[in-house]
Amino acid sequence: MNTTTTASPVSQLAEHLTGSEIIRIAGEINARIAKGEKIHNLTIGDFSPEVFPLPERFRELIQQAYGDGLSNYPPANGVLALRQAISTAIKQGQGLEYGPDDILIAGGARPLIYATYRAVVDPGDRVVYPTPSWNNNHYAYLLGAEKVEVETSAANRFLPTADELRPHLDGAALLALCSPLNPTGTSFTSEQLEAICDLVLEVNKRRTSGRPLYVMYDQIYQELVLRGTKHVDPVSLRPAMRPYTIYVDGLSKSLAATGVRVGWAFGPSVVIRKMASILGHVGAWAPKPEQVATARFLGEQACRDAVLRHRAMVSERVNGYHEGFQRLKREGYPVDSIPAQGAIYLSARIAIRGRTTADNKVLNDASDVTYYLIEKAGVGIVPFLAFGNRRDSDWFRLSVGTTRMEMVPEVIEGIRKAIDGLK
């Protein structure tokens, strides 16, 4: 008997790491589009430059910085002029005092989230985050952390409450929060976030040794608050949260600049310094010309005008999809949606699990529904399954970054026809 086993050619971490479900679905859709199929791809949280172009002035400043020969390494923690500009922006936008040494620049928000995990979480430590949420499961896996996923409900707009989090925070190293929330497009109210902050402060008051419970507050969509929503954050509401809060932010979403790769984190100096050291070894810096251009652009009226234009375009699109789903709901279709409060997403419920297709296939779970809508509606959206929810969830994320307004009725009518085609 041959008992020889074949060893994996890669590490155990790499062997068991799963890729992004969102990228996988989007890739399959794009391959079908390349073959000539007409599919509206509302999966990736990105922007089509043809629909949401980079602000012209910002593009000019980037090109100017390259023309000035600024093509060498930036400082490990970021160009000083940019950290100063962000310090001013934080003061003006949130009323918070964070100096340049409290700020870290990186190549987008992702390296900063990874660095936050690396700086405050050890293998085996508990990380608490709500579901649905974006990518926390993967970051926790990369660190060998204990994942504590707190399931939220549509009744609370898929945002965690203090009561839902309370049983899980004693002994935890990190609480990961995001507002406006990817994937739901919903935002914390002051009352909701105050209650969570008070809970974190209670937990830290009881700790007499070891590291505190930190909060990572991802506010990358804060400039895209919609429908009169006011962005709220932990330290503004509870100044005592300052030693425990690590903010993640950037310009990729507010300026449709996902490829420019400039993000920033700010928080307790001791944590920010260690994050800078971690990323220094990884080399996850934002390119120097982009940093210099961002420093110049943040202080200009052209930047504020670009954000307002961008926000109006996003609002028009998420509202258009929401109104379309509500129209279908009034007509008796098994759908619903939650009014978007921020980000570039709409949460939509399409409750057709268990139904049978024309060729007698049962839609057993969210994955089946996803591929049925691609086939029969010509619409690609992401199930909340990809954000940690169960396979029997009927909720989906629509991303509007590729949407021209004439697409909106086509998407809604495609979903109508797909539902009509079920037994």
Residues 6+ apart with CB under 8 A from 349: 154, 334, 335, 336, 337, 394, 395, 396
CATH of the domain at 17: 3.90.1150.10
- b/e per residue 289-298 (b: at least 16 CB within 10 A): bbbbbbbbbb
Domain C-terminal end among 300, 322, 345: 300
Are residues 231 and 364 located together in one domain of the fold?
no
Q: Which helix (H) or strand (E) holds 417?
A: helix 407-420
CA–CA gap between residue 87 and residue 419 (Å, rounded): 50
Task: Evaluate whether residue 1 is within a structural domain.
Answer: no
Question: What is the pTM assigned to this prediction?
Answer: 0.95
Are residues 230 and 184 located together in one domain of the fold?
yes
Domain C-terminal end among 260, 284, 300: 300
Are residues 220 and 128 located together in one domain of the fold?
yes
- Whose tokens are 């926390």? That residue is 136
Are residues 352 and 313 located together in one domain of the fold?
yes
Are residues 34 and 123 located together in one domain of the fold?
no
Which residue range(s) make up the domain with 69? 56-300
Looking at residue 3, its pLDDT comes to: 53
Looking at residue 8, its pLDDT comes to: 85
Spatial contact of 218 and 263, defined as CB atoms under 8 Å apart: no
CA–CA gap between residue 367 and residue 346 (Å, rounded): 19
Are residues 134 and 270 located together in one domain of the fold?
yes
Looking at residue 209, its pLDDT comes to: 85
Q: From start to end of 224-364, where are the E strands? A: 245-250, 263-266, 335-338, 345-350
Are residues 184 and 61 located together in one domain of the fold?
yes
Domain C-terminal end among 247, 280, 300: 300
Looking at residue 377, its pLDDT comes to: 97
Are residues 309 and 362 located together in one domain of the fold?
yes
Environment class of residue 59 by beta-carbon count within 10 Å: exposed (0-12), middle (13-18) or buried (19+)?
middle
Are residues 167 and 311 located together in one domain of the fold?
no
Looking at residue 2, its pLDDT comes to: 56
Tell me the average confidence (pLDDT) per consecutive run of 10 residues in the chain, 423 residues long: 70 88 88 92 95 97 98 96 98 97 97 98 98 96 97 97 97 98 97 98 93 97 94 98 98 96 98 97 96 97 97 98 98 98 97 97 97 97 95 97 97 98 95
Are residues 149 and 125 located together in one domain of the fold?
yes
Are residues 309 and 277 located together in one domain of the fold?
no
Residues 6+ apart with CB under 8 A from 165: 128, 150, 175, 196, 199
Looking at residue 5, its pLDDT comes to: 59
Looking at the structure of the chain, the number of domains it has is 2
Spatial contact of 100 and 259, defined as CB atoms under 8 Å apart: no
